[in-house]
Chains A and B, each alone.
Chain A
Amino acid sequence: MRRKIFALFMIGLVVLLLLLPVVRDDLYLLTILSIALCYSVLAASWDFFSGYTGRENFGISAFVAVGGYLVGLVTSSFNAPPILSILMGFILAGIVGFLIGLPTLRLRGPYFALATLALVTIAENLVLAFARVTGGEDGLYGLPYLTVTIEGSYYYVLIFAIISIAILFLIGRSNFGLILKAINSDEEATRSSGIRVTKYKLLSLSLSAAFAGATGALLAHFYGYIGRDVVFQSNLLIIIMATVGGTGFVLPAALGGITISLLTEYIRAFGELKNLTYTALLMVMILFVPGGLFSFVFAKKASRKRGVPNE
């Protein structure tokens, strides 16, 4: 019953988002919604791997960087339609995710998390070191826009978000996602059931990375700019979005992405306090509402029957 209401809610939301430019002529609103939609994909990508397998990926921005800076590289050489660089970002980030996963997925949970944290730090260092290519501190300007108009770009982003989140959600709901959750529950018992655990971990990390990379490319084209503020400063924020929204089912995390992103806009005036607020919010949520705001929709009913009559 809960799910039906939620499904209706999601459909309603999508319809609302589709019709918005027709109903309201507000470019500012469209812009911040576009960004919010990008982050909803990033939060969903993060959740697809970390929420399902239970392995924290603290370096998702490294994958975003692959897609984002790729745009800079590609468009400086030749003028390709944005869809091409987004696709390339998807593939390249996916490959990077796979290569990173090969050695690091052997690490137990906490150490994997640290390795990814180290990786994103290195990625940031590399971006600064190769400033000639990446624009270093300042970033790269003058990148081609998605479309000529803001409305056009908004629809571009919206369609991308709907497709990406839908794909991630459907895969998550399938037996693939079930295996990821079994791995989360007990990796060794999953192995003992004849499942090639490493394969599934690698695939899900690669897919998560691929979508993050594609979104990075999308962001670069949306802003017409890519820089460390777009790519790396949101690393923790993406985790906050997924955690606050709720992990393990893709859609709550995506909703968390939209919510927090919109919240960002409203507390932008607070300046430095803004960051403090997020992290405080994160810590409070972890301690008191670990399931996140929206995942109650998907939570399973606890058993009323407990077993043998003698209990």
Chain B
Amino acid sequence: MNDVILKTIDLTKRFGGLAAVDKVSIEVIEGEILGILGPNGAGKTTLFNILSGYFRPTEGTFTYKGRDITKLSSEKVASLGIVRTYQIVRLFDKLTVHENLLIPCLSARMSAKLKDKKDRENYIENLAEEVGISEFLDLPTQGLSHGVRKLVEFGRALANDPDVLLLDEPFSGLNPVEVEPLANVIRNFHKKGNTILIIEHKLREFMKLVERVVAMDRGKIIASGSVKEISENPLVVEAYLGKGASRFVGT
């Protein structure tokens, strides 16, 4: 049985009077794909923002491999191996695909592993091939199709050589043809023994990828369990469809 790699304890984030994340305590097992489900405004992205170091939580702490990283900045969190992608793709649009992949290679962590230009070039080439964006390497990211941009962002995340990936709606805006390549790349990453947390609304892909699910509503965790358990959980259904909808849940 694998260890807990990421653990949050009563994580809370308040904006004014509103608790966007409300006493969230979860344990993520190393090597698992954990899905995070919930209607809009449930606090999923806020949770990611806290875990990635963008927000400081109002209360609560979280640890990574046993070490308390609650107060670390985004740069430090990334350098520890926790990397995220964004709901709305955030690429370096003034740069080419190749350059987007290069930036993480210039961080302190990756510079130690990739000693010179040749190492970096090989690394990027292999990465681009793995993700399926080799043909776009010299093109500016601005102007590429949405599907390719999502792949590039994923590739850039991978360039950090992360142990944990936080994927925020990776399939949003993708048409069915574009979903498949990305899902494969995510699966490949997982097969190497890495951990993934994934927020997603496209339920079909979500259900195929994740092993365990945590459901959130209004900042709180309302249920957790396997995919099947969650889809039958009345609380979850009501969170999405409104009160009374659980009456209509069949299997």
Contact = CB atoms under 8 A, between A and B. Distances in A.
B18 interface: no
Contacts of B194: none
Interface stretch (A42-50, A132-140, A193-201, A275-283): A193-201
Interface in B145-199: 145-148, 156, 159-160, 175, 177-178, 181
Given A193-B160, A195-B107, A302-B140, A310 B78 contact: no
Interface in A183-221: 184-186, 188-197
Given A179-B103, A182-B103, A306-B145, A196 B75 contact: yes
A77 interface: no
Contacts of A306: 143-145, 148
A192 B78 contact: yes
A194 B136 contact: no
A224 B92 CA distance: 46
Interface string B65-104: 0000000011101110001101000111111100100111
A213 B188 CA distance: 53
A194 B108 contact: yes
Interface residues of B, number: 44
A308 interface: yes
A308 B99 CA distance: 21
B54 interface: yes
Nearest to A181: B94
A178 B103 contact: yes
A307 interface: yes
Contacts of B160: 193-194
Nearest to A304: B139
B110 interface: yes
B52 interface: yes
Contacts, number: 109
A186 B94 CA distance: 9
A200 to B, nearest CB: 10
Given A303-B140, A307-B144, A189 B107 contact: no
A258 to B, nearest CB: 26
Interface of A: 175, 178-179, 181-182, 184-186, 188-197, 300-303, 305-311
A294 B54 CA distance: 38
Contacts of A192: 52, 54, 74-75, 77-78, 83-84
Given A179-B103, A196-B108, A305-B139, A188 B90 contact: yes
B106 interface: yes
B123 to A, nearest CB: 14
**Which secondary structure dominates chain A's binding surface?**
loop
Q: Which of A184, A192, A194, A303: most chain B CB closer than 10 A? A: A194
A311 B54 CA distance: 34
Contacts of B110: 194
Nearest to B140: A300
Contacts of A193: 78, 83, 103-104, 107, 156, 159-160
19 contacts: A178-B95, A182-B99, A185-B91, A186-B90, A188-B74, A189-B91, A190-B103, A193-B107, A194-B78, A194-B79, A194-B109, A194-B160, A195-B106, A196-B108, A301-B140, A302-B140, A303-B143, A305-B135, A310-B178
Nearest to A310: B177
A308 to B, nearest CB: 5
A189 B86 contact: yes
A308 B147 contact: yes
A191 B84 CA distance: 11
B175 A310 contact: yes
Given A189-B86, A195-B106, A195-B107, A178 B99 contact: yes
Contact of A308 (B75, B91, B143, B177): B177
